[in-house]
């Protein structure tokens, strides 16, 4: 049974993306994965996900910077971030 909006996984580490995705799907969640913060912001601007799981250290934009940018987005619903 799938729950609500997809969970967004953001990490440049392929193995981590695959493992998290599999675990969350097995738990009945919809999942979207991306490899960087810019891709994540594009998805979040479309209000497609309400929960983000992100890595702390990534090229170009780390998890903390991504979190700051998410907080500045004008979204209809809150976006929850797990770093």
Q: What residues pair up with 44 in beta bridges, in sequence order?
A: none
- Looking at residue 1, its pLDDT comes to 42
Spans in the chain with pLDDT lower than 70:
1-3
Please count the other Cβ atoms lying within 10 Å of the Cβ belonging to residue 8: 23
Residue appearing with tokens 């993306």: 17
Longest dimension (CA), the chain: 36
**Single pTM value for the model:** 0.90
pLDDT tens, residue by residue, 26-43 = 999 999 999 999 999 999
Q: What residues pair up with 70 in beta bridges, in sequence order?
A: none
Tokens, residue 26: 């097995």
Tokens, residue 4: 């609500």
């Amino acid at each position: 049974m799938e729950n609500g909006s997809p969970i967004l996984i953001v990490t440049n580490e392929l193995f981590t993306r695959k493992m998290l995705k599999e675990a969350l799907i097995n738990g009945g969640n919809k999942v979207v994965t991306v490899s960087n913060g810019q891709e994540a912001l594009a998805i979040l601007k479309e209000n497609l996900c309400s929960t983000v799981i992100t890595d702390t250290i990534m090229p170009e934009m780390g998890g903390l910077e991504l979190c700051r940018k998410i907080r500045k987005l004008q979204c209809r619903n809150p976006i929850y971030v797990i770093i």
